Structure 1
């Protein structure tokens, strides 16, 4: 996906421009994913729901890709979308539809 490649390039550039913050953020992400009672896939489903609710397209790309790598099913994705719509209303429904489209496109590729 062109948007995914563009996002990766932009994040790489930001990482070069802000190495200390990028390293700290990476450590935070690792700590969250490596600890606690929730498994990594559950945490990614929560992150996807939040990304939908706050309408972060780049986050959708990142978290959908991560969920595919973790073996998330389409039903699990739509379950996270349902919760996001409950919390975010109509705008979350639109971004949820976009998230599902991203999932379908990535699975078809």
Structure 2
């Protein structure tokens, strides 16, 4: 996203405006939204998204078990490869956050 912000700032502004509109439309609490996004990023191997949204979910009060559970929910739909990749990244982030 940093490269898009640098090279096409108007596109990144539009993207963030859309994201904000969708986020505001949803009446779920922030933790729930972040857990759902973790599941979504798990389905498409979105490691940068996993990184961002695991941190945000933890900051919103999610537990390690809730984060890992959100990833595991994707297992029947997307298979072990995507889930393992997301699971490992989430554990890395959680470990870093616990060490702070």
TM-score between both structures, scaled by the size of structure 2? 0.85
**Structure 2 gap segments, 5+ residues each:** none
- Hey, what's the Cα distance between the residues in 1 that align with 2:83 and 2:3? 32
How many residues end up aligned between the 2 structures?
99
**Structure 1 gap segments, 5+ residues each:** 1-10
Which structure shows the higher helix fraction? Answer: 1
Q: Render the CA deviation track for 1:53-81: whole Å, top value 9, x for unaligned.
A: 21111111111111122111112102201
TM-score between both structures, scaled by the size of structure 1? 0.79
- Hey, what's the Cα distance between the residues in 2 that align with 1:86 and 1:46? 16
The answer on whether the counterparts of 1:48 and 1:63 sit within 8 Å (CA) in structure 2 is yes
> Are 1:86 and 2:58 counterparts?
no
Q: Which has the higher mean CA deviation after the structures are superposed, 96-105 or 22-31? A: 96-105
Q: Any idea what SS the aligned residue of 1:37 has? A: coil
Partner of 1:48: 38
> Are 1:17 and 2:7 counterparts?
yes
